[in-house]
Structure 1
Amino acid sequence: MRNENRRWVLHPAGRQKDFVKRYQFLHMTARNNSFDELAVLHELKRFLPALSPGRTFTHRNPLEAFQHLHFHDALRHASEMLGYQTSLSLEEYRSLYNSKRVKPDVLEKVLVEKKGAAKTFEWQDKVLMKKFPAAVAAPRIGRLRANWQKQYKTDPDTCVHPRLFRILGNYLDHGVSDWSFPVRGQGFLDSMREVEANSFISAFNTPRARKMLLQTDPSIGDLLAIIVGDEALFKQYLFDQQFSHRGWSGLVATLERNSSNLLNGSHITLRELIVFELLLEIDVLDDRLGKQWDPLASSLASPPSDLFAPVPASEKSEVLAIWQEAVEWSYYEEVLAGLSRNSPNQHSSHTLGTVRTSAPESLCIIGRPTVVRDTPPGYRAALHHYDFSLDRDGAELERMLETVVPSLGATNLEYFFSRTNFADVNGGNALGDQLIGLFGVADGTRGDLRTGLPTELTEGLEPIRLLCIVEHFHEMVLKVIGRRSVGRRSVGRRSVAQWIMNEWVHLVVIDPLTRELRVLKNGEMVGYKSDPLKYSLSVAGDW
């Protein structure tokens, strides 16, 4: 950053050019009716990771923005749109099969369920043997802003990010601050205005962006009109920009929801972060290109791929979905076979044996303690005491599902996606990270905050969704789930139903009288058959 003591003096020709630019800017802003700043900010917050102080669990699905989709559809969309690694690699899945961790009869059962008996052998060959191209297309995120390099041979992020992250670290003041931020008790932008007005050192190298900060209160749309030009691209540009440092952006969005995590009454909003970053971009572009550069949209050869367009299934995505189901049901098989027994002599404690290397919170039971005694050794089950005989209308079960499913499901998925390297878009948690106080890790003060759990907490774990086992009659369970998607509080209720109906958690119902098991598949309760002696699934017929 350079000293900024010059006055901005324009020659007459410069004044005329500036007037024209100002007129164009105001004209573009006046037409900016399709860009809804508040709506886009709200949507960004849903997509950004919830990075919380102390790396505590947020009890939020890391892919909350995709939760309206079925689990495997959501994984495919998150991968194509945002570049997330949402599953194990094909090689890892095949290694689990070769080591007998994935049972052949379970894999065959999954193939029959998903592809039909007639196509089982065809898809078995694809799952076990077919080689897919290693090179894949880059994710959609970032493609629009990549045109800065194509059009102007410049990358604003190389100059903006080091400045931005250092200022954010100083303002938030949790472990990286070289000096104490001089202003407390007011918003981030107001603090920056006071710093700029009273400091010999400026955050800006050129006058325009600094003047806009000090003398105006620009909206996001105002600044995007200068930088992008076409309001139809404003939303996608903001997603590209904020996901280039999704850790810092996710932290700011989390702190906006709970500013008590900051010291001395400071507070920051995602809008303030974006406004300041856009001003820094204008400053860098003015510094690199002079004042004669055109908005990004003016020279696009073709519009970028729509970030939010549907992502069709590919053969490889279907193969990965089959493998994930086979891994999970191979794990659940022994548990469910044990629960289908009804002999006291065969009961075994769930606290004995070696705990399987699955993600924590992979198994919960809502029922009487006798159900847990049927859990085989080596499995940890979270028991939530519930007696179906005392809950005739299912009201207590409804309240319990509303509490248990989102909480345990979110914790489980945090481990699940950290294990699949969901947090590894830009290099992973294990690369020489430096601790940033309470808020996460970064590659020094120049890098983005890392999301997800540390590698040492997930190494060796298998990503497995939560299996929720409910002791009740399956008709009542379906009735309760149906109630969660209707009513006056439909938004809150629907989220619990989405967890279950879209299979972000697996649901199994055990009949309290017959011990019959039913699995929720595609919105229906399907019978599950097992051999209690061999712990194996029946390949033909029901689950």
Structure 2
Amino acid sequence: MSSKTIKQDYHQPATGFNLDSCIEHLAHWLPTQGPIKDFIHHNTLHAFQHLSFHEALSVAGKLFGACSYLPLDDYQRLYKEGRIKEYALDWALAQTGCSELQQKQIRVKLFESDKHSHFPPVSLANHGIRNALRTKLEIDLNALVHPIIFRLLSSFLDQGISRWTLPKHGESFWDCVLRLTKNSFIPLYPFDEPAVRVLLDKNPDEIITICLQKLVGSEKLYEQYLLEVLLAHPGWSGMVRIVEETPQCLLIPRKISLKELLAVELLCELAIIISKKGQNFAAISKLTNLQSIPLLTGDVLQPKVPLRMRVWHDAMEWALHSELLIALKNQPIPSLGEELASKSPPEVQAFFCIDDRECSIRRYLEEYNPSIETFGAAGFFGIDFYYQGLDDAYPVAQCPVVITPKHLVKAVPVQQSVEPKGNAIDGFGKMHFSSHSMFRGWIYTQTLGLGYAVKMAWNVFRPTSKLPGIKTLSEVEAHSHLHLLRETDEPTPDGHFLGFSLSEMADRIGSLLRNIGLTNNFAPLVVVIAHGSSSVNNPHFAAYDCGACSGKSGAPNARAFAWMANNQGVRDILYGRGIEIPDSTRFVAALHNTSRDEISYFDLEANDESTISGFSSFKLAMQEALKRNAHERCRWFELGPQSGLQEESHDHVKSRASSIFEPRPEYNHSNNLYCIVGRRALTRGLFMDRRAFLHSYDPASDPTGDSLVKIMSAIFPVCGGINLEYLFCRIDNSVYGAGTKLPHNVIGLLGVANGVEGDLRTGLPQQMVEVHEPARLLIVIDQTRDIIDQSLAKLGDLNTWTENEWVRMVACEPGSRDLYHYSKQGWQSIEFPADIDVPVATCSESIITLRNKTIPVHQFSGELS
């Protein structure tokens, strides 16, 4: 067929199909996981948050081909083991709204065997019209097209792994592919197909329309086919969308769009089909079995919740949640008046992030020294800013993703003569994008490469507890201070203020102190402890850092808070606002390394360590708490020490973090389950197995609920996002998660893929979630229902978290400690059978010994030491 005839066949544009609005609609269902440097926990099913939790599971399953619940056998086993209680089943059945007769019928079906209950549903992604076309033509488009598309995308978006750059400066993805196709000495397969090559002069809109006409045939099916193309590789599709919308997320900017990706991919599909079947193949609209295929215009988006599985899952969650609620009900908590009257200044106060991994550290500190008072707050400590360290190529946000900072804070060398290191932005560009000689590269490989190979082999078989290249984090000397005080109101070229005014500092320090209920009774020493993590074998490093700091270490925030709180000008302003920080009180910043259980203290040169009251004794208490914490963590590790010695456990967790072959440096947020917003008296003396996010809050100091609004604004996206990502990645790791880490390769510093030509894997790897119990977060608020209602009314769209039951919320009345569960129907009083007791123990070690599964909440008896 001549080129002229080909052009005539393809010159029939669709009339009723709006490509731009279609792409905008489809993009909503793609993953929103950005480049791996910015890994941030979020609700995996964010696109369905307008639906109730169980409805969203149903629709997502039919779209993506994912399982929505654990296997039926798992729930039945938990019931036989006594982990799912009878009262929890009764509660879950009552939540269905069915009649008593229907509930009895459902209860019978709960215990029936069903070997097919855990098969993923027939889905649009796996059984849709594109799959039908592949089957009809007997061509595996995924196997033939994806390697080509993935190579093009990884080379185009590469952020520094490749020695040569594919795109020219400012060149778009479409223009780059077009240049390669037309100018390459070797033809770029399959775009050299004559029937396709004649289309290269058209723009992406025309290309997509022509390909859809040929492949699909009916405009009614265009949207579905485009969605199936994107869902065949959701990782790359989502990454392209992220880069399109926020090009600043890349260190080296790239111009790309979903439209360009679709144009290239559809052109590739068409070329391969024509090369194998000719031009007269039947379009999808000609298929005779079209009505038996899942259609987007059919019932794919209509939820169909399996009642039996919903009841089992709700019962499992309520049984786990009840373990905490019953313990809270039994806690001997003084009234607000008694608590205030008996309160005397503690020796030390320590601020921690609300992170569930800090739950056990706080417990051990208080066990070792009961005169230490601990507080919890979101790990950015109320100070939102962009931060740029000495060697950072660009600033990063140090706050929850829902906040857009207006301030920039830079690290300044302690000695101004210190020159920037080679991996600053100029060095970065030179290191990655200067020209390279093939001969010189070969010489390097044959000489230096052999030495590094020997070193790597040694590290594999004899991992050391030392971090590569530097001392352990606890020994790193400070070499910078933060430029925090703003000297001019003129913004930077990016529109940010360089530093804070004293008034702005006081606003942030005062807001956090009021939120956590600390406005008087300050200890002589207040330690602000951020957290981060270090490990050798972990491309998802940001997932181990602080979620409230957008997946970064919280050290800059802790340092900023301590400096501001120590500033006399800030204290003077706070005094005028009713917060008096004594002159004798000093704030010290620190960082807890959660993988190695080590602590670093910052900026001590600004405070003579010997003059800080209680600092030496606090360091001893913290070191003891870290060793005990490491010992508790080791019960989860199959190869952990069995001796029971805390020193040996501490050495083990440090060696895990430094081992190149260790896929589990720490289990991170595994088994997160609770979030308690309230006084420490609610939970002090409880063993919660490192499962609780703990945010300090004084109900007596918040009569209007304004502080609660600020707290919940961070808790919903941060704690809720962490919880749901773990939940979905545990239930179906093959779809929602990243699979096992073992075959992962880092692709272009963008993400990980299996091998060198796989799709980018989104979500969490199997090794991070394998021990997780997938249950929704229970948020317990130490406040009256009326004030909680006032706060919820001010949260706007964030209310979908509770209204649609993506998290569960319980009010614990401060006076009576009566418990009420929140639902769309209002507050429901919570009652438990009278014969349920809370397990009692004398200390943490007596609870964890010889136990390697999740442990129910325990209550400590007597004084702990």
TM bracket, shorter-chain basis:
0.7 to 0.9
Matched to 1:213, the amino acid is L
SS in structure 2 at match of 1:129: coil
The TM-score with structure 2 as length reference comes to: 0.54
Deviations 1:207-253 (A, max 9, x none): 34334234544343343223222111111001111111111112222
Q: How does 1:61-460 map to 2 (within 5 A)?
A: 61-114=43-96, 115-131=98-114, 133=116, 138-142=122-126, 143-173=128-158, 180-201=165-186, 202-203=188-189, 204-219=191-206, 220-303=208-291, 304-307=293-296, 309=299, 310-311=301-302, 313=304, 317-344=306-333, 351=363, 359-373=670-684, 375-424=686-735, 428-429=739-740, 432-460=743-771
**For each residue in 1:33-59, what CA deviation from the matched residue of structure 2 results, as whole angstroms up to 9, or x when unmatched?**
2x3323222222221112322275434
Kindly tell me: are residues 131 and 185 of structure 1, through their superposed partners in 2, closer, same or farther at Cα, counting changes over 3 Å? same
Counterpart of 1:517?
819
Checking the alignment, whether the CA contact within 8 Å between 2:736 and 2:762 is kept in structure 1 is: no
Give the corresponding residue for 1:541.
none
Distance in 2 between residues matched to 1:449 and 1:198, nearest whole Å: 29
CA distance in 1, matches of 2:705, 2:731: 37
Q: Distance in 2 between matches of 1:426 and 1:481?
A: 32
Cα gap change, 1:507 to 1:391, in 2 (>3 Å): same
Q: Aligned partners of 1:254, 1:401: CA distance in 2, in Å?
A: 27
How many Å separate the matches in 2 of 1:56 and 1:393?
36
SS of equivalent residue, structure 2 residue 200: helix
Asked if the contact 1:520/1:526 (under 8 Å) is kept, the reply is: yes
CA distance in 2, matches of 1:155, 1:466: 42
Asked if 2 retains the 8 angstrom alpha-carbon contact of 1:421 and 1:428, the reply is no
When the two chains are superposed, the root-mean-square deviation of aligned CA atoms in Å is: 3.2
Alignment partners' CA distance in 1, 2:686 and 2:255: 48
User: How far does the alpha carbon of each residue in 1:398-419 deviate from its partner, in whole angstroms, 9 at most, with x for none?
Assistant: 2322221122111111111111
- After superposition, what is the alpha-carbon deviation per residue over 1:52-82, rounded to whole angstroms, capped at 9, x for unaligned? 2227543432111211111111111111222
**2:196 is matched by which residue type in structure 1?**
A
Deviates more, 1:373-382 or 1:71-80: 373-382
Q: Could you say what secondary structure the match of 1:212 adopts?
A: coil
User: Does the 8 A contact of 1:53 with 1:438 survive in 2?
Assistant: yes
Contact 1:90 1:320 in 2 (8 A): yes
For residue 36 of structure 1, the aligned residue among 9, 14, 18 is: 18
Q: Which shows bigger deviation, 187-196 or 497-506?
A: 187-196
- Are the aligned partners of 1:229 and 1:296 in contact in 2 as well (CA < 8 Å)? yes
Report the Cα distance in structure 2 between the residues aligned to 1:253 and 1:52, rounded to whole angstroms.
9
2:640 corresponding residue in structure 1: none
* In 2: Cα distance, 1:341 partner to 1:168 partner: 58
Shift of 1:277: 0.7
* Structure 1: 5+ residue stretches without partners: 1-9, 485-492, 537-543
The offset of 1:506, in angstroms, is 0.6
Amino acid at match of 2:321: Y
Identity value in percent:
29
Name the counterpart of 2:793: 482
Cα distance, 1:107–1:66 mapped onto 2, change above 3 Å: same
Q: CA deviation at 1:19?
A: 5.5
Q: Secondary structure of 1:441's partner?
A: strand
Give secondary structure in 1 for the equivalent of 2:66.
Answer: coil
Structure number with greater CO (CA < 8 Å, separation at least 6) is 1
**More displaced stretch, 210-219 vs 76-85:** 210-219
Mapped contact 1:189–1:276 kept (Cα < 8 A): yes
Question: Residue 725 of structure 2 contacts residue 764 of structure 2 at CA under 8 Å; is this kept in 1?
Answer: yes
Question: CA offset at residue 380 of structure 1?
Answer: 3.5
Higher mean C-alpha displacement, 362-371 vs 164-173: 362-371
Unaligned ranges ≥5, structure 2:
340-358, 365-628, 637-666, 839-865
Spell out, residue by residue over 1:476-517, the C-alpha distance to the aligned partner (whole angstroms, 9 max, x if none): 222332343xxxxxxxx22x1111111101111111111111
Query: Which residue is equivalent to 1:5?
Result: none
SS of 1:468 mapped into structure 2 = strand
Q: State the shift of 1:261 in Å.
A: 3.8
Question: What TM-score comes out, normalization by structure 1 length?
Answer: 0.84
Q: Matches of 1:56 and 1:102 in 2, distance apart?
A: 38
Give the direction of change, closer, same or farther, for the CA distance of 1:374–1:475 in structure 2 (3 Å limit).
farther
The question of whether the paired residues in 2 share the 8 Å contact of 1:259 and 1:267 is answered with yes
Distance in structure 2 (CA, Å) of the matches to 1:508 and 1:69: 21
CA contact (8 A) 1:184 1:191 kept: no
Aligned partner letter, 2:114: K
**Alignment check: 8 A CA contact 1:415 1:453 kept:** yes
CA distance in 2, matches of 1:178, 1:149: 37
Q: Which has the higher helix share?
A: 1
Residue 527 (structure 1) aligned with residue 539 (structure 2): no
Conserved? CA contact 2:670–2:768, under 8 Å: no
Q: Tell me by how many angstroms 1:453 deviates.
A: 0.6
Counterparts of 1:239 and 1:307, CA distance in 2: 9
Q: Deviations over 1:136-169 (max 9, x none)?
A: 7521334111222343332333321111111111
Give, in whole Å, the separation in 2 of the partners of 1:425 and 1:472: 36
Q: For 1:308-338, what per-residue CA distance to the aligned partner results, in whole angstroms no more than 9, with x for missing partners?
A: 6244536xx2121111112211111121112
> How many residue pairs align between the two structures?
507
Cα pair 1:85 1:420 within 8 Å, conserved: yes
Which is higher, the Rg of structure 1 or of structure 2?
A: 2
1:498 maps onto 2:485 in alignment: no
Aligned equivalents of 1:270 and 1:207: distance in 2? Answer: 25
